[in-house]
């Protein structure tokens, strides 16, 4: 079925003094978000979307976006926005951890995008009327009004009473009362899974295995996604707060950042609870052979997996200790340059961002080593469909720039937003102790539990 062309209009804007994207979020119903240190992009509504599943999900999504972005006529009112990553038509992406997942991988192209990056602020509106002429200007102001926003003389403000309340429902800054219950399996099931994983490592079947578990938080009315995201963006400002489809959270781990031919990544492996003091945590992470081995496995795994799509790649050495509000991690930043290849017409092209993400996924930090062996063993021991948890999550713009984090420290909305299934996992290596790994999962669940006002 042929898809109609779209028109996208991008305007440079200002906002009320002191009002940033985290401030706007509680009053909006976002369909996508990517924020760090108060900057990023937020999507409203849906102009178009697609889903994919199975082993070809990365390629199917990449093909759809390559074709769809070529059908979008772009107009910008300021040349200063031309090279800003994430500006203009941008899709939010969520890809499942496993090709065998029953969940769908998806791309969502919002009808409205609000962005703030490196001092630039903008709003992009995309036509959704199939009968509209893509060469005719859009009524940007009318579209924004449907989402509770007003654009006057280049200034974006919230409207108290939008003309079409069915499209926009102001969200309270507070959340409904929530209850924490067991997930798919009991904590005892997780302890047994970790013990079995340690046995497999002792038998030399693999070096590392990442095992996850889930927990369920329920409420008697839909949770305000905007409020949850705003709280995460403020409390975990150094992480990447994300929303794509029904998956949301604040991840500390960047799978791949792509800016034209430049590539970057951040590998995290090795964890100590924040309740341990800073100096003790540094000693435990930097001097403990278990922690260093787990981290080195993850770094080498990523370097090996990305090798086919890069010309140059290097990793920071030695690793540093990353301090987050809930945990400490060993962290290594990786940088590189993507390799160009000739297409059928002899032109030099870069690999699509989704296919670069496919090369990097899954890392040893969320799967294990050897990857194939760990991937086969994980469902047997977890007895859990991770869905988008530990899969790539982020965005891709029409110029090919992209950010893909790993969907960690988050969960998946269920029951029309009345519940959210939280996930956490740990890297299991030789010497891992089941009860310590279970406690580590609680530390990793803490970001979501805290913003949802849940007491363990």
Each residue's pLDDT expressed in tens, for the chain with a length of 456 residues: 578 889 999 999 987 666 789 989 998 999 999 999 999 999 999 999 999 999 999 999 999 999 999 999 999 988 989 999 999 999 999 999 999 999 999 999 999 999 999 889 999 999 988 667 777 788 999 999 999 999 988 888 888 644 444 444 444 467 999 999 999 999 999 999 999 999 999 998 899 999 999 999 999 999 999 999 999 999 999 999 999 999 999 999 999 999 999 999 999 887 888 777 778 888 888 888 878 887 888 888 899 999 999 999 999 988 888 888 878 888 999 999 999 987 766 677 899 999 999 999 999 889 998 999 999 999 999 999 999 999 999 999 999 999 999 999 999 999 999 999 999 999 998 889 999 999 999 999 999 999 999 987
CATH fold of 178-451, please? Answer: Anthranilate synthase (3.60.120)
Query: What does pTM read for this prediction?
Result: 0.92
- CA pseudo-torsion sign 83, 87, 89, 94: positive
Both structure tokens of 16:
């009320």
- Residue by residue, what is the 3-state secondary structure of 166-219? CCCCCCCCCCCCEEEEECCCCHHHHHHHHHHHHHHHHCCCCCEEEEEEEEEEEE
In angstroms, rounded to a whole number, what is the distance separating the alpha carbons of residues 76 and 386? Answer: 40
Asked if the peptide bond before residue 5 counts as cis, ω within 30 degrees of 0, the response is no
Both structure tokens of 205:
């079947």
- For 375, which DSSP code? H
Rounded to a whole number of angstroms, the CA Rg of the chain reads 22
Domain ranges of the chain: 6-158, 178-451
Asked if the peptide bond before residue 257 counts as cis, ω within 30 degrees of 0, the response is no
CA 384 to chain centre: 20
CA 35 to chain centre: 10
Contacts 24+ apart (CB under 8 A), 13-18: 13/121, 13/122, 13/123, 13/151, 13/154, 13/155, 13/156, 14/121, 14/154, 14/155, 14/156, 15/121, 15/155, 15/156, 15/157, 16/155, 16/157
What local confidence, expressed as pLDDT, does residue 164 receive?
47
């Amino acid at each position: 079925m042929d898809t109609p062309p779209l028109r996208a209009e991008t305007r440079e804007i200002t906002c009320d003094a002191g009002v940033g994207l985290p401030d706007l979020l509680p009053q909006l119903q976002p369909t996508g978000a990517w924020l760090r240190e108060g900057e990023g992009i937020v999507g409203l509504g849906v102009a178009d979307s697609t889903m994919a599943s199975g082993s070809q999900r990365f390629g199917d999504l990449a093909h759809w976006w390559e074709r769809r972005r070529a059908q979008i006529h772009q107009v910008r009112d300021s040349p200063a926005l031309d090279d800003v990553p994430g500006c203009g038509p941008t899709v939010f992406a969520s890809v499942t951890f496993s090709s065998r997942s029953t969940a769908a991988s998806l791309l969502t192209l919002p009808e409205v995008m609000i962005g703030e990056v490196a001092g630039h602020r903008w709003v992009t509106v995309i036509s959704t009327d199939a009968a509209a002429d893509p060469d005719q200007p859009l009524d940007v102001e009318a579209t924004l009004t449907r989402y509770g926003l007003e654009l006057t003389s280049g200034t974006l403000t919230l409207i108290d009473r939008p003309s079409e309340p069915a499209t926009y429902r102001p969200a309270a800054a507070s959340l409904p009362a929530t209850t924490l219950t067991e997930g798919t399996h009991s904590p005892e099931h997780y302890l047994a899974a970790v013990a079995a994983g340690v046995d497999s490592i002792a038998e030399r079947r693999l070096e590392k295995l990442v095992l996850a578990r889930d927990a369920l938080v329920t409420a008697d009315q839909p949770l305000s996604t905007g409020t949850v995201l705003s709280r995460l963006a403020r409390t975990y400002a150094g992480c990447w707060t994300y929303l794509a489809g029904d998956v949301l959270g604040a991840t500390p781990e960047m799978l791949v950042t792509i800016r034209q031919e430049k590539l970057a990544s951040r590998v995290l492996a090795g964890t100590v609870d924040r309740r341990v003091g800073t100096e003790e945590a540094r000693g435990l992470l930097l001097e403990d052979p278990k922690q260093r081995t787990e981290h080195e496995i993850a770094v080498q795994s990523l370097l090996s997996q990305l090798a086919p799509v890069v010309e140059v790649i290097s990793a920071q050495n030695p690793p540093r200790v990353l301090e987050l509000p809930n945990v400490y991690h060993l962290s290594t930043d990786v940088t590189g340059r993507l390799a160009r290849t000739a297409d059928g017409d002899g032109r030099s092209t870069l690999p699509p961002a989704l296919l670069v993400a496919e090369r990097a996924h899954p890392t040893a930090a969320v799967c294990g080593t050897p990857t194939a062996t760990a991937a086969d063993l994980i469902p047997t021991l977890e007895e859990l469909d991770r869905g988008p948890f530990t899969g790539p999550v982020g965005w891709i713009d029409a110029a090919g720039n992209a950010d893909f984090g790993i969907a960690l420290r988050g969960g998946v909305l269920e029951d029309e937003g009345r519940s959210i299934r939280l996930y956490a996992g740990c890297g299991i290596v030789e010497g891992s102790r089941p009860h310590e790994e279970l406690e580590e999962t609680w530390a990793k669940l803490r970001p979501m539990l805290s913003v949802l006002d849940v007491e363990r």
